[in-house]
């Protein structure tokens, strides 16, 4: 899963295109305005400053009031489509944005995003019948299956 670091912004997202199925899932979970905001966060790797993803700047870019950007960001976080966190302090502070259900599930489970082949990971989850929300309790099963496929 690629990560892009520029300035004080680190973006981790799934390398896949924004599919119609993903749009539908976002709309059903968080609303149609959330789908627009989600697309903005998927493009966040184009930015290098964390201020570009603040609610105020995002709202201005989308022509929304700040409260609307904040409300839909919280809806996307609650539905586990994004995670935004800050690491460090002062001049060493980095804002991390994790975008995509699988990337967020890995982040929430404490797994490093850069050691997992996302295609194999998705294949294992499908074969075990596990969705992203079930990831934490099924980590041992997934790790065993990932190890088996790596050895082959």
pLDDT tens by residue, the chain, 152 residues: 444 444 556 666 665 677 888 899 999 999 999 999 998 888 876 666 666 778 998 999 999 999 999 999 999 999 999 998 877 777 777 778 888 887 888 778 776 555 456 677 778 888 888 887 787 788 778 777 777 765 55
DSSP state, 94? E
Question: Tokens at residue 85, please?
Answer: 């966190």
With both helix axes pointing from N to C terminus, report the angle between 55-62 and 32-42 in degrees, rounded to the nearest 10.
110
> H/E element holding 93?
none
> H/E element holding 65?
none
Give the model's pLDDT for residue 48.
61
Give the model's pLDDT for residue 68.
97
């Amino acid at each position: 899963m690629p990560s892009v670091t520029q300035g004080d912004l680190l973006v981790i997202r799934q390398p896949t295109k924004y599919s119609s199925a993903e749009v539908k899932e976002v709309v059903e979970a968080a609303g149609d305005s959330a789908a627009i905001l989600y697309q903005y966060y998927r493009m966040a790797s184009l930015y290098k400053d964390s201020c570009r993803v603040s609610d105020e700047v995002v709202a201005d870019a989308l022509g929304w009031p700040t409260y609307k950007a904040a409300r839909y960001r919280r809806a996307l976080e609650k539905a586990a489509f994004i995670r935004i966190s800050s690491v460090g302090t002062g001049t060493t502070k980095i804002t991390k944005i994790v975008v995509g259900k699988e990337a967020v599930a890995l982040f929430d489970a404490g797994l490093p995003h850069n050691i997992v082949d996302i295609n194999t990971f998705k294949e294992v989850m499908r074969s075990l019948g596990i969705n992203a929300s079930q990831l934490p309790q099924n980590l041992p099963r997934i790790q065993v299956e990932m190890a088996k496929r790596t050895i082959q």
